[in-house]
Structure 1
Amino acid sequence: MESSKFPLHEAAREGRIQVAESLLNANPKSAVTKDDDERLPIHWAVAYNRLPIVELLVAHKNFDPDVEDGSGWTPLMIAASLRDAAGDPIIDLLLKKGADVNVKSTTGQVIGQNALHFASSKANISTVRTLIANKCSARVKDVRGQLALHRAAAVGSVPIMKTLLDEGKSPINATDGDGLTALHHAISEGHGDAAILLLKAGAEAEKRDNDGRLAIDLVPDPKVKQYILQTAEREGIELP
């Protein structure tokens, strides 16, 4: 059983701080031992949001804040991906330990993403603000050619898009590997408010994707289309 092979990993997942302390004292090397999932105890502690365990592990003399698991994720990336920005206290701790906010994922479907991509995908606005304040770049494209702005647009997070544009200086009309802009992503997912924000901020409505489609061509719902067209007209925005 894995529990007998990797007891510190299990204690990290379950948040058993006293057990973790005892195991670490008995075998300090267990903190830097990967399990069958190619994860260290720190990766599990962060994934399960076990802050006391994280505090214990980051104090370890051999702690590497940027260590990757088997999927190429660092503790910072995992923390940025937790629901409802629950990983923010962990992120603060990792930053104090010198975590590199601009490390990019190296494997899987999300190669080339930094922590901003992950936080934006989960609509974690406070996390995004913290990352940008600590110089995490909003201008990095992943393997699909997507910026964090593309991810924020796809989930329809107006506050995050505004932050990425205003504070992160993200390009607004950048295209991904399919020729899609953030506006394409927002409209194709039915996010009318997100589309209007982008248009007001200077998104080019006449840009076409690799298949020759305008963003407005991708709207999935006639009510959303009507909302975008009427609001754009009211705001003095010309659409093709």
Structure 2
Amino acid sequence: MLRPCAILVSALLALMSLSHAASGPDMNETRLHMAAARGDVAEINQRLAAGARIDARDSEGRTALLVATHANQVTAAKALIEAGADVNAKDNINDSPYLYAGARGHLEILKLTLAHGADLKSTNRYGGTALIPAAERGHVDTVRTLIAAGVDVDHVNKLNWTALLEAIILSDGGERHQEIVQALIDAKANVNRADGEGMTPLQHAVKRGYSRIAQILVAAGAR
């Protein structure tokens, strides 16, 4: 008969064996995420070949592609996308590789997502499309790219703001945001669409002393 101590050791060894067996795929996927973060394409390919699920999630709900997007690791993102990673897979706070690349102005990754099935109607946790935060943050080329892709320029988020409103309300009124306002107007954005309190883009521009933006809006028929 085994002594209590021997039984305990035997049970612990069994548990360790089970834990090791169960942790194999998880560790493989953890390493996939780590490789994506540092842009290690060789390691990414090795982990996928070893059976790592390409869209496996980490504790924050992020796929390896979203991890690569956070770090703006273009070559890693390209490798993952070409291997079939979902460009629309959302994490725990409703960010996807497409939405995050648009919001942060990661233009090369954004273009890759657009070429591989990005959902132009998908929205972030604020109910906004990729265009709205791109406009707010002054990512001129990103805004132009999203407009060309066909994102709705008049989409309204949970704050009752459009991309045009955010390009004014949350901006510094400088040259980049002036270009964005003009790009949105050229794309037929509604210059008189008011926010939830009834204030129009022109009223917001005047209130903030953004004279050049106000001129652009008036020239487009804003009231």
TM-score (structure 2 length as normaliser): 0.79
Q: What is the 5 A alignment of 1:17-96? A: 17-29=41-53, 31-61=54-84, 63-82=85-104, 85=105, 87-96=106-115
Aligned alpha-carbon RMSD (Å): 1.9
Aligned twin of 1:6: 30
* Runs of 5+ unmatched residues, structure 1: 205-240
Aligned twin of 1:127: 142
Native 8 Å contact 2:65 2:87 kept in 1:
no
**CA-to-aligned-CA distance 1:190-218 (integer Å, 9 cap, x gap):** 422212222222221xxxxxxxxxxxxxx
Structure 2 residue corresponding to 1:158, chosen from 159, 163, 178: 178
* Runs of 5+ unmatched residues, structure 2: 1-25
Q: How many residues align?
A: 192
For 1:77 and 1:180, how far apart are their aligned partners in 2?
27
For 1:188 and 1:10, how far apart are their aligned partners in 2?
47
Hey, which bits of structure 1, 4+ residues long, moved more than 3 A? Answer: 187-190
Native 8 Å contact 1:77 1:118 kept in 2:
no
Structure 2 residue corresponding to 1:137, chosen from 120, 140, 152: 152
For 1:143 and 1:166, how far apart are their aligned partners in 2?
25
Aligned twin of 1:219: none
Work out the percentage of aligned pairs sharing the same amino acid.
29
Question: What displacement does 1:188 show?
Answer: 4.0
For 2:52 and 2:82, how far apart are their aligned partners in 1?
11
Question: What displacement does 1:28 show?
Answer: 3.1
Q: Specify whether residues 44 and 171 from structure 1 end up closer, same or farther in structure 2 by C-alpha distance, changes over 3 A only.
A: same
Does 2:218 align with 1:191?
no
Q: Specify whether residues 203 and 36 from structure 1 end up closer, same or farther in structure 2 by C-alpha distance, changes over 3 A only.
A: same
Does 2:191 align with 1:172?
yes
